[in-house]
Structure 1
Amino acid sequence: MEAALWPWLHLLTLMCIFISGTLAFDTVRGTKPSITNDTLRDDPVGRLKVYVYELPTRYNKEVVERDERCLAHMFAAEIFLHEFLLSSPVRTLKPEEADWFFTPVYTTCDLTKNGLPLPFKSPRMMRSAIHYISTQWPYWNRTEGADHFFIVPHDFGACFHYKEEKAIERGILRVLRRSTLVQTFGQSYHVCMQQGSIVVPPYAPTKRIMEHLIPPSTPRSIFAYFRGLFYDVGNDPEGGYYARGARASIWENFKNNPLFDLSTEHPATYYEDMQRAIFCLCPLGWAPWSPRLVEAVVFGCIPVIIADDIVLPFADVIPWIEIGVFLAEDDVPKLDTILASLSATEVLKKQKALANVSIKQAMLFPQPSLPNDGFHQILNGLARKLPHHPSIYLQEGTRVLNWTAGPPADLQPW
């Protein structure tokens, strides 16, 4: 009996420890940030030059004008990266001296009434934009895109479909297969995860986050917190497929556990509640990631990452092992025991690592930009891929990519 009670007693002990909240940006209060990884603080200026193609506005500006909700949804990084690059010191107006070329095409702004992106036109739109740059400038044709990067923040990146089996069947858009992809999707050994891709966090509105900060002395009185779907009845009526059953398992095992604050409802105090929580559950949904991963890190809530084989944002510079807890999907029923095994010292150590300002800023795409933010991490990732290997340059007249391959609908004009 005593052995069975130990995990619960340990959980209660952790709950009784006064663990203070952490301000999203300590620099606001003049606190010197801790340094977990100096690479996060690299300055990309002087290390690379980027040429931004000037496309007809139907590929970008007009898309946003038709539906301004695009400016706030979780894929909006494609819009703000474009705006950032236009005024960035790394931008060059001389394409002959560029290390990288960027094509500003907004492929996630075709939204449903509920604000969900429909990617069905995205392949045609992207193919059309690439056809345009390849006929108006000579630079694409030298490498067939090997020195070009594209941001594709869909659920399954450049596979351009929100259902995994359809995304796998389609594969990465063929004309993008020599390019570097900047994508929110990241999963090891997956056909939609291209080698050399730069995985970034989903977009979370920085201004709105900053408006909901609470005093850093506020105790963290919630043990484990989650708001979101457990069952997606509309798209997975039989259950078990959505989130590979992980979310359903969370609900069935812990819905009556007083230490777990679980609900499908998003209260007005959602951001404040995360700042009062010790652990924030970050299970996969239809894709391995979600905006709550960003929110947890920014609010100093230890992310409990439940997504097998996930590739996390900027994983080469953010020490995810130090700031998070990783749980196999099959181990969800043991979630309480696993969290109970963490000592107060381990919890405090992770919270201290989470307090690093550079880590928080790396998870955001603020306007205006801030040092070390997500924009700069993308540029640093591109800089680390330089210099380009001579083999990327093709002999004149040589072709590698097959423009005529792909699903018939993708090949239609846009």
Structure 2
Amino acid sequence: MEKSKFGVLYPSIFLILFISFLNFHFHFLSSWPSTLTYNHNQIRVGKIEQELSEARAAILEAARRRTYNILNNNHNHTTNYFIPRGSIYRNPYAFHQSYIEMEKRFKIWVYKEGEPPLFHLGPSKNIYSTEGHVISELHRSRLSAAHPDDAHAFLLPVSVTNIVHYLYRPHGDYHRSRLRTVVRDYVTVVARNHPYWNRSSGADHFLVSCHDWGPYATAGGLFDHLIRVLCNANVSEGFQPRRDATLPEINVPASALNQPDMNASKSVLAFFAGGAHGAIREALLRRWKGVGDGDVQVHEYLPKNASYMGLMARAKYCLCPSGYEVASPRLVEAMHAGCVPVIISEGYPPPFSDVLDWSAFSVEIPVGRIAEMKEILEGIGEEEYEEKRRRVAEVKRHFVMNRPARRYDVLNMVFHSVWLRRLNVRIPI
């Protein structure tokens, strides 16, 4: 059990659930450092931690009994009430109960300090848009706490994308120390004005960033316990799946919240179009670009008058290689195109991997086997492919952007990722 100065960091709740199937007597440990003290309303903290303890117990019980607890209230009692089922989920019973507990209990406080555009605002279009939509949604969500004393988690409403846009472009330089200084100064302000950061060393706080520089904004010892929700979720660069959460990269069109769904007959085995950004794409283009193979179509530049989404829709498999950074909007674009995503990456935990079994609806090809890609994909039987394609249609609901957010959509899945990580931390009383 890993300890820190703020308490015990539980292993992933779903790792605990997996172990619980092997040993129903498994329980949460509760040994806390005896030297930690802080001046705050310990009764309120105790109530919050009791709520989280009850949620953990309910999740474990649902997993053990393999049952669904259907809430009967005005919010959930509808004919369209969704229940997660099937192989796209690691444990649908645990996920369903966890989501219920989140809706019933979870409250997030958004710090009021800071002024737009560096704080409280973020992009709502382009590949960084998830960052802006999460920040904006939490200013008016049902999950928003009325008072910080009622909060289980705290959002630092910092927009890394806007900091880069407004502070770096005018200067014309890209010294990342300026970015870290802004974020550190913000934490200093909220820690001085409120007791919440100091009582947990930031372990119940989170920051959301879809910009490539997100990890650099939170580098250094001050952020050792912060929950980082990042598109650039690169394990080799310090991303920790037990503490951090992968943010889906969604290229929101200028005129809509989602790409249109495409349906077309599948006449191509695999498709990719994109620039030679990074070593993985360079290797893909070097091996497959212009090979004259109609089954595998890999383009650096699209043919004239060709439709990118139309070509994706005609492919059975859509290649999603990492670029300069690990994330790719093609994962979500493939779902809208009815195409099975093929992940070609290193050190990238896909979004919502705590609850989603990506092997059920995608294919992962190691970077070292790019040359064997066609053989690997042709080796997948037609029945298995059709199952994956069907599951892509099922899982897509968790990657759809809605404003306001709807149950189980991408924004609520992001909040659920934070909820899981908050369950794994206990603030000592």
TM normalised by structure 2 equals: 0.69
The one-letter code of the counterpart of 2:252 is: P
Task: Calculate percent identity across the aligned residue pairs.
Answer: 22
What is the aligned partner in structure 1 of residue 245 from structure 2? 198
Determine helix, strand or coil for the equivalent of 1:384. Answer: helix
Report the equivalent of 2:133.
80
Q: Report the secondary structure of 1:385's partner residue.
A: helix
Matches within 5 A, 1:322-401: 322-356=360-394, 359-387=395-423, 389-390=425-426, 392-393=427-428
C-alpha distance in structure 2 between counterparts of 1:393 and 1:295, whole Å:
43
Q: SS of 1:224's equivalent? A: strand
- Counterpart in 1 of 2:206? 149
Tell me the SS of whatever aligns to 1:46. Answer: helix
Query: How many aligned positions are there?
Result: 331
CA RMSD of aligned residues (A): 3.0
**Cα contact 1:108–1:118 (8 A) shared by 2:** no
Paired residues of 2:129 and 2:252 also in contact (CA < 8 A): no
Aligned partners of 2:174 and 2:250: how far apart in 1?
17
Q: Could you tell me which residue of structure 1 aligns to residue 279 of structure 2?
A: 242
* 1:94 is aligned to 2:94: no
For residues 249 and 85 of structure 1, do their structure 2 counterparts lie closer, same or farther at Cα, with a shift above 3 Å needed? same
- Give the structure 2 partner of residue 184 of structure 1: 231
2:73 is aligned with 1:35: no
Q: Do 1:52 and 1:101's aligned partners in 2 also have CA atoms closer than 8 Å?
A: yes
Determine which structure has greater relative contact order: mean sequence separation of CA pairs < 8 Å that are 6+ residues apart, divided by chain length: 1
Q: In 2, Cα distance between the equivalents of 1:209 and 1:75?
A: 13
Give per-residue Cα distances to partners, 1:57-77, cap 9 Å, x unaligned.
14546976xxxxx33122222
Contact 1:213/1:272 (8 A) holds in 2: no
Q: Does 1:174 align with 2:211?
A: no
Residue 47 of structure 1: how far off its partner (Å)? 2.8
| 1:308 aligns with one of 320, 331, 346 | 346
**Displacement after TM superposition at 1:210 (Å):** 4.9
Asked if the contact 2:242/2:421 (under 8 Å) is kept, the reply is: no
When residues 58 and 173 of structure 1 are mapped into structure 2, their CA distance, relative to the original with a 3 A threshold, is farther
Structure 1 pair 324/122, CA: closer, same or farther in 2 (3 Å)? Answer: same
Distance, in Å, in 2 between the alignment partners of 1:74 and 1:119 is 23
Given residue 140 of structure 2, which amino acid in structure 1 is its aligned partner?
S
Q: Distance in 2 between matches of 1:300 and 1:60?
A: 37
Shift of 1:221: 1.8
SS of residue in 1 equivalent to 2:349:
coil
CA distance in 2, matches of 1:118, 1:74: 20
Contact 1:156 1:287 in 2 (8 A): no
Per mean C-alpha deviation after superposition, the further-off stretch among 54-63 and 323-332 is 54-63
2:265 corresponds to = 219
The residue that corresponds to 2:111 in the other structure is 53
Separation of aligned partners in 2, 1:286 and 1:73: 17
For 1:302 and 1:101, the matched residues in 2 are separated by 36
Shift of 1:198: 1.0
> Which one of 65, 68, 71 corresponds to residue 124 of structure 2?
71
CA distance in 2 between partners of 1:290 and 1:211 (Å)? 15
Alpha-carbon distance between aligned partners in 2 of 1:362 and 1:100, rounded to the nearest angstrom: 22
- The Cα shift of 1:247 comes to 2.6
Q: What amino acid sits opposite 1:98 in the alignment? A: A
Does 2:251 align with 1:251? no
Closer/same/farther in 2, CA of residues 182 and 46 from structure 1, 3 Å limit: same
- Give 5+ residue unaligned stretches, structure 1: 1-29, 65-69, 161-170, 233-240, 395-414
The alpha-carbon deviation at position 353 of structure 1 amounts to 1.1
Contact 2:241–2:349 (Cα < 8 Å) also in 1: no
**Structure 2, unaligned runs of 5 or more:** 1-79
Aligned-pair distance for 1:245?
A: 4.5
TM-score (norm 1): 0.71
CA–CA distance in 1 between the matches of 2:223 and 2:408? 28
Q: CA deviation at 1:84?
A: 0.9
User: Residue 279 of structure 1: which of 317, 321, 334 is its match?
Assistant: 317
- Gap change, CA 1:366 and 1:205, over 3 Å in 2: farther
Question: Structure 1 residues 187, 342: CA separation in 2 closer, same or farther (over 3 Å shift)?
Answer: same
Q: Is the 8 A contact 1:306 1:328 kept in 2?
A: yes
Secondary structure of the corresponding residue to residue 45 of structure 1: helix
Q: Determine the structure 2 residue equivalent to 1:16.
A: none
Contact 1:107–1:125 (Cα < 8 Å) also in 2: no
Distance 1:263 1:189, change over 3 A: closer
